[in-house]
Amino acid sequence: MFCKKWKLTTKLYPNLPLTAPLLALLIFLLSAPVLASISPVEKQRLLFQQAENALSENDLKQFDDLLAKLHDYPVVAYLEYDALSLQLSHTNADDVKLFLNKHDDYPFRYALLSKWLDLLASRKDWAGYLDFYDGRSATRYKCLALTARLEVGQIADINQDIEKLWLTGYSQPDECDIPFQHFLQTGDDVYASVWTRIEKAFEARRPTLSTYLARNLSADDRKLVDEWYQAHRHPQQRLSVLADFPDTLINRKIIVHAIQRLARKNSLQAKQYWDQTRDSFQFSAQQVAQINKRIALSAAYQHKAESKELLEQLPVEQKSDNAHLWLARIYLRDEDWIGLIKTIEVMPEHLQKESEWVYWQARAYDKVGHHVKATETYRGLAQKGSYYGFLAADRIAVSYQINQQQAADEASFDENLLLAKSDHLLRARELFFLNRLLDARREWFQGIRKLSQLEIRQAASMASNWKWHDNAIKTVAKTSHRTDYDLRFPMPYRQLMVENVEQNGLDLSVIYGVMRRESLFDPLAKSKVGALGLMQLMPSTARHVAKSLGLKKPVQSDILNIDNNIRLGTSYFKSVLKRFDDNVSLATAAYNAGPGNVKKWLPEKESLPADLWVETVPFKETRNYIQAVLAYATIFDKHLGKEVNISSRMADVKPEY
């Protein structure tokens, strides 16, 4: 059963949301002697949370009393912000302006001004809106500012400003309707502008927007847009029909779009239509190059045998970095080591220097008998504590370079002195311990912008000491320091992890590697696509795993719960590991991209070495993900005192599982 287990403590640790009943219980349990033993700042944190609860219960007298006691607390302004936000509709403009000016360097200023601008717009107080508008980049506020200008008569050059927002392939907020309508009624050459946006919408894969925009065109033009829409939705069906269309500018664009759409699904079928069509229309040189490159790259992603020839046929000036990389990967997949060496030699210099191609060049040298050259290259690469560095080290049987060097010498800096240099960091610390994590992050990253590289490293070390792990990792990443492995690769939730890993027969280092890659150990992490928590579980996956374990259907709060997230995440990893016969590389890929995709990427005939298979995974995100998890697991092995080679987790990949 899903439930949260809270532990009361005399210290106010982060991630302990104090609801009113729990707070009351905590105060009751903390006797006078215990209260006397806690530090002044911990007392202030407790008062702050009492004030938050008083405000949430609309007990304004108690709130004001508590606020007075917190006058010298670094984040008392956040309580004032909360109170003002609740009564904003009853606040006059002068008081809002005074508050904004007083707290000019607080991150909440932006959010408060957003609420105030929304309120002014809802009241249609357009003069007031322009008075407060700060030129922010969010489109909806820009459009409201344009509406305000129209309403108060500030229309000089306004259509130029509107057109900048209009010319996008994506739908814009409803707030843009009024300025857009003005532009369509009064703008110069609106016809061309509408067609330009329709084309951008198709390029952005927003066909419905294109048909919506077509309402501004003639009946004949709307038919053309509808044809383009059908070609977008059903490229294979429409291409045979489009071949008989007149050779016009719009028809050529529709054909190019349809062939590119088809190529993403079936590159060779797209090539067939292209070969049949290209000589019947006066396609521009740019269109020809665009289609040839799209077909060649799609064929490579789809592991088609013809992709090598298609990529080789591209003129040098048309070969993007991606084309060079995928041609190299095709030679890899075919284990054509001579071809690989030649391909790497003609890559742009910046690609040749990447660890990826240094490693594969060494592998190719080794395969064709240039062992001395290969060993020399491996030895240089093995100095790096990275995926390719570890692989290179295995090739020549040398130790991994995982040598701990602290980002900041703890004895050389005083936390209080560092905090005294930055109000932002001081406020971030308090907000973190008050569990206001979003506010804490905003303060933190606003603060470190003003620090030296040394001070940023010290700040990262400080955050790590607070067990604010995701923040510490992100902060040290803003420096060149990469060898504080204790800071960059912590092992939180150790007991829970060990229990779940042992129960599922998993490798603790690998699961820590997955967790670090997924969330940087942020228990409240939420991705853009909806993945949740430490192990970044999609709700559908969490529900499926919970059902298999005989648990009730979890809601979002259940999935975010640390115990549940680790349990469900490790259980899911066990299932994909079992699905792929304990092949760690494949299980890691499946955790990221799904078992269905991994099955499509398996070799057709013979087994492939794992490093070679990983290198030819079509999705860059998944390719990087596998490499990162395997490298991270190797570093966690070092923390655990284990001697494990990265290669031992990289079994050959078979054609079937």
Same domain, 450 and 570: no
Residue 165, in any domain of the structure: no
Mean pLDDT of 16-38: 55
- 163, 455, 518, 615: the catalytic one is 518
Same domain, 531 and 510: yes
Q: What percent of the chain has pLDDT over 70?
A: 94
CA 450, distance to chain mean position in Å, is 25
pLDDT tens figures, 328-345: 999 999 999 999 999 999
CATH number at residue 519: 1.10.530.10
Burial status of residue 408 (CB atoms within 10 A of its CB: 0-12, 13-18, 19 or more) = buried
Distance CA 58, CA 63 (A): 8
Same domain, 40 and 85: yes
Residue 271, in any domain of the structure: no
Task: Give the pLDDT of residue 521.
Answer: 97
Evaluate if residue 10 carries a pLDDT over 50: no
Distance CA 551, CA 569 (A): 14
Contact present, 362 and 378 (Cβ < 8 Å) = yes
Q: Residue 422's domain spans which residues?
A: 410-482
Same domain, 418 and 533: no
User: What ranges in 520-653 are assigned the alpha helix state H?
Assistant: 539-548, 556-560, 562-579, 584-593, 595-600, 610-615, 620-639
Chain mean pLDDT for the chain:
93
pLDDT tens figures, 376-416: 999 999 999 999 999 999 999 999 999 999 888 766 788 99
Distance CA 127, CA 131 (A): 6
Nearest to 357 by CA among 322, 329, 315, 385: 329
Same domain, 513 and 604: yes
Evaluate if residue 43 carries a pLDDT over 60: yes
Same domain, 454 and 509: no
Task: Give the pLDDT of residue 36.
Answer: 62
Q: What percent of the chain has pLDDT over 90?
A: 92
Same domain, 477 and 513: no
Same domain, 44 and 102: yes
Task: Give the pLDDT of residue 536.
Answer: 98
Evaluate if residue 606 carries a pLDDT over 50: yes
Task: Give the pLDDT of residue 16.
Answer: 45
Evaluate if residue 15 carries a pLDDT over 90: no
pLDDT confidence band for 4 (50 / 70 / 90): very low
pLDDT tens figures, 229-285: 999 999 999 999 999 999 999 999 999 999 999 999 999 999 999 999 999 999 999
Q: Which residues have CB under 8 Å from 62's CB, separation 6+?
A: 50, 51, 54
pLDDT tens figures, 413-458: 889 999 999 999 999 999 999 999 999 999 999 999 999 999 999 9
Same domain, 513 and 447: no
CATH number at residue 469: 1.10.1240.20
Same domain, 505 and 477: no
pLDDT confidence band for 33 (50 / 70 / 90): low
3-state secondary structure of 530: coil
Last residue of a domain, one of 482, 507, 524: 482
Same domain, 509 and 422: no
Last residue of a domain, one of 111, 126, 151: 151
Residue 347, in any domain of the structure: no
Task: Give the pLDDT of residue 408.
Answer: 85
Mean pLDDT of 495-518: 98
pLDDT tens figures, 106-148: 999 999 999 999 999 999 999 999 999 999 999 999 999 999 9
Last residue of a domain, one of 444, 460, 482: 482
317 is annotated as an active-site residue: no
User: What ranges in 369-436 are assigned the alpha helix state H?
Assistant: 371-381, 387-396, 415-420, 423-433
Q: What is the pTM of this model?
A: 0.88
Residue 176, in any domain of the structure: no
Q: How many domains does the chain have?
A: 3
Contact present, 333 and 303 (Cβ < 8 Å) = yes
Higher-confidence residue of 604 and 635: namely 635
Burial per residue of 256-267, b for 16 or more beta-carbon CB atoms within 10 angstroms, e otherwise = bbbbbbbbeebb
Residue 356, in any domain of the structure: no
DSSP structure class, residue 303: T
Residue 448, in any domain of the structure: yes
Evaluate if residue 7 carries a pLDDT over 50: no
pLDDT tens figures, 446-501: 999 999 999 999 999 999 999 999 999 999 999 999 999 999 999 999 999 999 99
pLDDT confidence band for 605 (50 / 70 / 90): confident
User: What ranges in 368-507 are assigned the alpha helix state H?
Assistant: 371-381, 387-396, 415-420, 423-433, 437-448, 453-465, 469-476, 485-488, 494-504
Q: Which residues have CB under 8 Å from 631's CB, separation 6+?
A: 386, 387, 390, 513, 646
Residue 170, in any domain of the structure: no
Distance CA 354, CA 381 (A): 10
Same domain, 437 and 477: yes
Distance CA 12, CA 3 (A): 21
Task: Give the pLDDT of residue 38.
Answer: 82
Evaluate if residue 74 carries a pLDDT over 50: yes
Residue 399, in any domain of the structure: no
Q: Which residues have CB under 8 Å from 582's CB, separation 6+?
A: 651
